Chains A and B, each alone.
Chain A
C-alpha cells in the first residue's frame, strides 16, 4: 500500500503540473521525504533506504545548480525607456553650427543650402507667372 503510493507520487506529479514540474519537485523534497520516512519506516525497511536516498540525492545535487546558476536571470523586464536609452547612447542629434546670414533676406540659413524663405518667395513668383509649370 505504502510502496504503491510512494512510487506513484513522483511519477504522476510532473504530468499533472507540467509547467511547474522541475521547481515543484525540487522545492518540495523536504516535505515529501519527511512524509515518506513516516510511512515507510515501520513497514518496509529495505525500500525505506532506497527510496529516500533517490528522493534526497537528486534534489540536493540539482538544487545547488538551480539556486546558483539556473536562477541567475533578470528579475524584471527591461523597460522600453531603459532599452531605448541604452541603444541610442551616443547617437543623439548633433547641433547645427554651420550657419550663415542669407544675403537675399538677412535671415539665418544653413551654409551650402538654399534659404527656404527666399526659395518660397521665388517659387510663388514663378507660380503666379506660369501656373502649369510646364515649358513646352
Chain B
C-alpha cells in the first residue's frame, strides 16, 4: 500500500481469500436481496454485484459462464439473476445496488457497518424508510416535505415498476400503523418509540 494508489480494499486478506469472501457476500446478496456487513466489505461487494448485474443485462453465453463463476450456488441463483434481476434493471443505467451506513452491529464489534441492498427490490430499506418519513409527515399534518425526503421519494420511485402506486400503498400502511399507535398511546412520539 505504501507509495502506490490503492485500487481496491485488501480487507486484510490475500487475493484468494478476498475473492472467496466477495463471492460469498454477492451470492448472499442475490439470494437475500440485502446483506448487513461492515462498511468496507459492503463497498467492495458492491463493485462485484454491479458487475454481476451488468453481466446479467448483457446475457449471452460468455456472460452466463462468467456469472456462474462468481456465484457459489449458480444452480439456484442463475435463473433469478438472468430472469428477475435482469428485467428489474433493464432500464436502469447503472447503480443497481445501494450501501446505507448503519449503527454498529453489536456492542463488541464496533466496526462501521452498512447494509448492501438491491435497489427497487423487496428488501429496499431506503424505499421503506422514505415511505415511513412521508407517512409521519402526513400524520403530523406537515404539508411541505423535507427537501431530502422529496429527493429520496423521487429516487426510490423513478425506475421501480409501479413505483408510485407501490410507494403510496406503503405510505398508507405506515399511516394506519401510526394512527393506531397514536390512539393507543395518546402521545404519538412515545408509542412510536415502542413500536
Q: Given known contacts A107-B193, A133-B32, A136-B31, is B132 in contact with A122 (CB within 8 Å)? A: yes
Bound-complex Cα distance A112 to B33 (A): 22
Selected contact of B31 from candidates A107, A113, A114, A135, CB within 8 Å: A135
Interface hit among A49-57, A82-90, A98-106: A98-106
Main secondary structure of the interface of A (DSSP, over half): loop
Chain B residues lying within 8 Å of A115, measured Cβ to Cβ, are 129
Q: For residues 86 through 136 of chain A, which have their beta carbon under 8 Å from a beta carbon of chain B? A: 103-107, 110, 112-119, 121-122, 125-126, 130, 133-136
Task: Say whether B129 contacts A117, CB under 8 Å.
Answer: no
Is the CB–CB distance between A103 and B137 below 8 Å? yes
Contact residues on B (Cβ < 8 Å of other chain), bracket: 20 to 34
Report the interface size class on chain A: 20 to 34
A104–B31 CB distance below 8 A: no
Contacts of B123 in A (CB 8 A): 126, 135
Q: A119-B102, A121-B195 are in contact. Are A106 and B136 (CB under 8 A)?
A: yes
Check B31–A134 contact: CB distance below 8 A. yes
Cross-chain pairs A/B with CB under 8 angstroms, 26 sampled: A103-B146, A103-B148, A103-B149, A104-B132, A105-B132, A105-B136, A106-B136, A106-B192, A107-B192, A107-B193, A114-B100, A114-B103, A114-B129, A116-B102, A116-B103, A119-B129, A121-B195, A122-B132, A126-B123, A130-B122, A134-B31, A135-B31, A135-B33, A135-B80, A136-B31, A136-B80
